Amino acid sequence: MRSYILVILFLLIALLAGYLINQYSPSLLIMGVAALIIVTVSFINIEWGLYLIILSMLLSPEFMAGDTGGTSLGRGVTLRLEDFLLVVIGFSWLARNAIDKELGLFLKTPLNKAIFFYVLVCVLSTGFGIMAGRVELKTGSLFLLKYIEYFVLFFMMVNHVRNTDQVKRFIICLFITCVIASIIGALQIPGGGRVSAPFEGDVGEPNTFGGYLLFMGMVAAGLLAKTKSLKNKQILAVILLCIIPPFLFTQSRSSYLAAVPALLALGLMTDRRLIIVGLVAVLLMASPLFLPKAVKNRIMYTFTQPEARGQIKIGEFRIDTSTSARLISWREALSDWPKHPLLGYGVTGYQFVDAQFPKVLVETGILGLVAFLYLLYSIAKLTLQNLKEVNTPYYQGLGIGFLAGFVGLIVHAIGANTFIIVRIMEPFWFIVGIITVSPMLERRQAEQRPGNEVTGRVAIAPNSSTAR
């Protein structure tokens, strides 16, 4: 009887496959089969799906999904492989939670309220913008989904991660991805020009790559400052050596500027803060002596560009056209914001502004800016609180590295839309998820060792109805 059932099943599968082949193109079928495999694998073990997302963060191709008409990013809506992976894996995660009620959908954390307020304001602002005709429906919806996908990744992390070994595997995977992207970037250096991330199409984004390398470099430096293992120190030093050359040759002035407070913040949080901060200060002062010529020329270009149309003069100095364009966009955004003061023009409802804070203000109004600043404050507060609670060098290093990188990204956002850039925000929110549950994981690890006790409170508890 069983053999007959198998024969009938195979016949049905063959008939279905024949129908699909006749109706759809081979490439579409391959994508469908791949999505089905990913859904199945992620349903069985969500951790495997998260590894796929990590590897795709910097190593996936992009394509244009439509034209924004000059809004938001100043070019078409860009989608990447990880966007689809996150949708597919997110669907598997939701399906597992629907079947197993004990897993919990959205674990309560100190960030939930801030995330909810920010998303709510973005949705309301964009909705009113669509109704008023300022926001194109497809463009606004796609960008809103991209904003929300970062938070989906965060909730997947805090709901899934269960022990320190998992955390270490995730961090290793993040560093492997970073090293591969850095090597690909370093190979671009001999060709001249600015180094950019792999698979970015015809127009690269060196500023984005610089912000990503800065953040990952600070995370590696934080772990290096706290680890006691000589082998781990050597591995982390190699990772930093891989990151530094492509970072310098991105020629991203926003990233250079962001590196200064990031390094100082890292130094202040280390055990020998006075020595480290002193070394950082000396290194910065002596940097003109050893920095590559291309880097020094890029910094000086801010004030030495030949006279051209569109430059701004500050006293006797002419500012280069790129920096001038940013300053002009700031001025225009601040002057146009009062026309829609509370909820702004809507996400993608205003012209291109290549700076995070005026962009948030003009697109989502004063309510959006307050919600965004509250979100940043909540992340900083949570990280500092958890740093006081964790006792293991690993989590301490991860925390101070993340916080230093966070400080750097806030400064980087002065000259870029840092907190909506996929290739920066995906690793950022991935690590935010780990930071959020680190005290809980440390306590759980200690409880598994007989006779050991750990003092201090946990940040959150699985399936808890209340947050600290």
Q: Where are the domains of the chain?
A: 29-446
- At residue 433's C-alpha, the angle toward residues 150 and 225, to 5°, is 120
3-state secondary structure of 192: coil
3-state secondary structure of 63: strand
The arithmetic mean of pLDDT across residues 321-350, rounded, is: 89
Token pair belonging to 399? 């925390």
What does each C-alpha distance from 144 to 15, 33, 64, 245, 410 come to in angstroms?
Answer: 40, 28, 16, 35, 21
Q: What's residue 362's pLDDT?
A: 95
Q: What's residue 218's pLDDT?
A: 96
In angstroms, the CA 407 to CA 217 distance is 13
The arithmetic mean of pLDDT across residues 122-131, rounded, is: 94
3-state secondary structure of 67: coil
Amino acid 190 reads: P
Token pair belonging to 271? 């055990």
The arithmetic mean of pLDDT across residues 321-342, rounded, is: 88
In angstroms, the CA 191 to CA 197 distance is 15
Question: Which tens digits make up the pLDDT trace of 225-247?
Answer: 999 899 999 999 999 999 999 99
**Lowest mean pLDDT across 34-43, 84-93, 285-294:** 34-43
Mean residue pLDDT across the chain:
81
Tokens 């996936």 sit at which residue? 60
**3-state helix vs strand vs coil in the chain, percent to 5:** 70, 5, 25
Nearest to 222 by CA among 193, 186, 176, 262: 262
Return the higher-pLDDT residue of 105 and 185: 185
Q: What's residue 5's pLDDT?
A: 58
Q: What's residue 10's pLDDT?
A: 52
Contact 406, 236 (CB under 8 A): no
The arithmetic mean of pLDDT across residues 24-28, rounded, is: 53
Return the higher-pLDDT residue of 51 and 129: 129
The DSSP secondary-structure symbol of 292 reads -
Q: Is the pLDDT of residue 261 over 70?
A: yes
Give the strand pairing for 62-66 and 312-314.
unpaired
In angstroms, the CA 249 to CA 243 distance is 10
Contact 349, 122 (CB under 8 A): no
Give the strand pairing for 317-319 and 312-314.
antiparallel
Q: What's residue 234's pLDDT?
A: 95
Q: What's residue 140's pLDDT?
A: 87
Q: Is the pLDDT of residue 17 over 60?
A: no
- 77 confidence band (pLDDT: 50, 70, 90): low
Question: Which tens digits make up the pLDDT trace of 383-433?
Answer: 999 999 999 999 999 999 999 999 999 999 998 899 988 889 989 999 999
- 36 confidence band (pLDDT: 50, 70, 90): low
Token pair belonging to 110? 């100190």
Looking at the chain, the number of H-run helices and the number of E-run strands are 16, 4
- Find the helix or strand (DSSP H, E) in which 319 lies: strand 317-319
- 374 confidence band (pLDDT: 50, 70, 90): very high
Q: What's residue 418's pLDDT?
A: 93
Question: Which tens digits make up the pLDDT trace of 189-222?
Answer: 988 888 988 876 666 789 999 999 999 999 999 9
Q: What's residue 112's pLDDT?
A: 94
